[in-house]
Structure 1
Amino acid sequence: DTKTHLYRLTVHPDQKYSLQIDGDVKADRVALEDHWDVYAPRKIADPSDKKPADWVDEERIVDESHKKPENYDLIPRTIPDPEATQPEDWDAEADGDWEAPEVGNPEFEDWEPKMMANPAYKGEWKPSEIPNPEFKEDPTLAHYRIGGVGLDLWQVNSGSIFDDIVVTTDKAVADKYLG
């Protein structure tokens, strides 16, 4: 998108925010803590909660009906290279018995058992949550004076333009920019 856009972020005194892009409402009175870590979490994992011994969290298991091919274990993965020849300067007394280098066996086919959905799978286990004793709501969170605006962005294409950044407590002033 190469067009310019007007973003409007309103932080309300009740710790909610609204977002408009080109006048279209994208978020309306959403709690700040739903999208930003402004507080310690309200709930935490219960440290005393333990995974039940019979909990099954393996999503896939080996299909026992899928059997290894007959004589599979008798077929070697590699064989001596049938085209290799002993070097002319090979000295058995000094170098030992010559052995051809190993190459992949064309008769060998890699085999792995098929996997299937585990009928006993219960899903990923997560401990229950308890209220966080460290959580403290701050009723003054959205009441700070704003002295500046910072943009932290990562862009792939150059050419982004930022202008007309307005910080105001007066809705009428902000509305003038919507044109």
Structure 2
Amino acid sequence: MMFGPDICGTQTKKLHVILSYQGQNYPIKKDLQCETDKLTHFYTFVLRPDATYSILIDGRERDPGSMYTDWDILPPRKIKEVNAKKPADWDDREYIDDPNHVKPEPHDWIWKAPKIPNPQYKGPWKRKKIKNPNYKGKWKIPWIDNPGFEDDPDLYVLKPIKYVRIEVWQVNAGSVYDNILISDDPVYAKKVVEEVFSNREAEKEAFEEAEKLRKAREEEVLVETNCLLN
């Protein structure tokens, strides 16, 4: 599997989750966004025996789901009945004309405006609408069991993980990778995340102080450059 953030330029800021099944790679169908600030973050992917999963960032769940629906690994369980047609007696008119609403007598209703503005002009008369008692809702193509679906009870099973590889392609320095954990104990994994982020505030303070120093140096260089130009 491949899991982790991908930040490239100003457009690509996504979180990849690619699973390998029977020699093919399947990217997740969701559009997942990763963190884009300059602080460290902890990405967690949890896969369960019922093929459900959770994605957590810094210990907070973001995108739960299922391998059956969020990857195109297996054919879908249900498909639309392509030969289905709307029944002839299907009434999808939510509102109908009120049959009891009668047009007023001509002397009480002006149907065409005169050549001068008529203060009594009410516009064309229209029968009011009422709820259709036979309304069945908008007809939708029904779903049926997919005859091409074949379940795999071991869908969630990963091959033994022997190696961890970090793929890095960057044009800016400063990326840091640490604390990579592969475990079958979610409770322990959560504890590790909490321990890693116990110094979160100290990291923020150190980063803010480093940013102040960097900006100060840039301003000094700018002043010196202006002096040389003058």
TM-score where L is the length of structure 2: 0.42
Q: Which residue of 1 aligns with 2:53?
A: 17
- Provide the C-alpha distance between the structure 2 equivalents of 1:42 and 1:73, rounded to a whole number of angstroms: 60
- Provide the C-alpha distance between the structure 2 equivalents of 1:135 and 1:49, rounded to a whole number of angstroms: 20
Q: Which residue of 2 aligns with 1:60?
A: 95
Is 2:105 the counterpart of 1:70?
A: yes
Q: Which residue of 2 aligns with 1:43?
A: 78
* Greater Cα radius of gyration, structure 1 or 2: 1
User: Which structure features the higher share of helix residues?
Assistant: 2
Q: 2:121 aligns with which of 108, 123, 130?
A: 108
- Provide the C-alpha distance between the structure 2 equivalents of 1:148 and 1:37, rounded to a whole number of angstroms: 23
Q: Which residue of 1 aligns with 2:158?
A: 143
Q: Shift in Å at residue 133 of structure 1?
A: 4.0
Deviation track 1:32-84 (CA, whole Å, cap 9, x = no partner) reads 335x253543111222333222222222111111122322775314x43x5xx
- Provide the C-alpha distance between the structure 2 equivalents of 1:70 and 1:9, rounded to a whole number of angstroms: 73
- After superposition, the Cα gap between the structure-2 partners of 1:19 and 1:173, relative to the gap in structure 1 and judged at 3 Å, is closer
Q: Which residue of 2 aligns with 1:32?
A: 67
**Aligned pairs, how many?**
137
- Provide the C-alpha distance between the structure 2 equivalents of 1:40 and 1:165, rounded to a whole number of angstroms: 37
Q: Which residue of 2 aligns with 1:169?
A: 182
Q: Give the superposed CA RMSD.
A: 4.3
- Provide the C-alpha distance between the structure 2 equivalents of 1:32 and 1:166, rounded to a whole number of angstroms: 26
Are the equivalent residues in 2 in contact too, given 1:13–1:143 (CA < 8 A)? Answer: no
- Provide the C-alpha distance between the structure 2 equivalents of 1:115 and 1:148, rounded to a whole number of angstroms: 65
TM-score where L is the length of structure 1: 0.51
- Provide the C-alpha distance between the structure 1 equivalents of 2:71 and 2:109, rounded to a whole number of angstroms: 57
Q: Shift in Å at residue 123 of structure 1?
A: 2.7
- After superposition, the Cα gap between the structure-2 partners of 1:8 and 1:109, relative to the gap in structure 1 and judged at 3 Å, is farther
Are the equivalent residues in 1 in contact too, given 2:75–2:150 (CA < 8 A)? Answer: yes
- After superposition, the Cα gap between the structure-2 partners of 1:69 and 1:7, relative to the gap in structure 1 and judged at 3 Å, is farther
How do 1:90-129 residues align onto structure 2 when only pairs under 5 Å count? 105-110=118-123, 111-129=125-143
Q: Shift in Å at residue 13 of structure 1?
A: 5.4
- Provide the C-alpha distance between the structure 2 equivalents of 1:148 and 1:121, rounded to a whole number of angstroms: 58
- Provide the C-alpha distance between the structure 1 equivalents of 2:138 and 2:165, rounded to a whole number of angstroms: 45
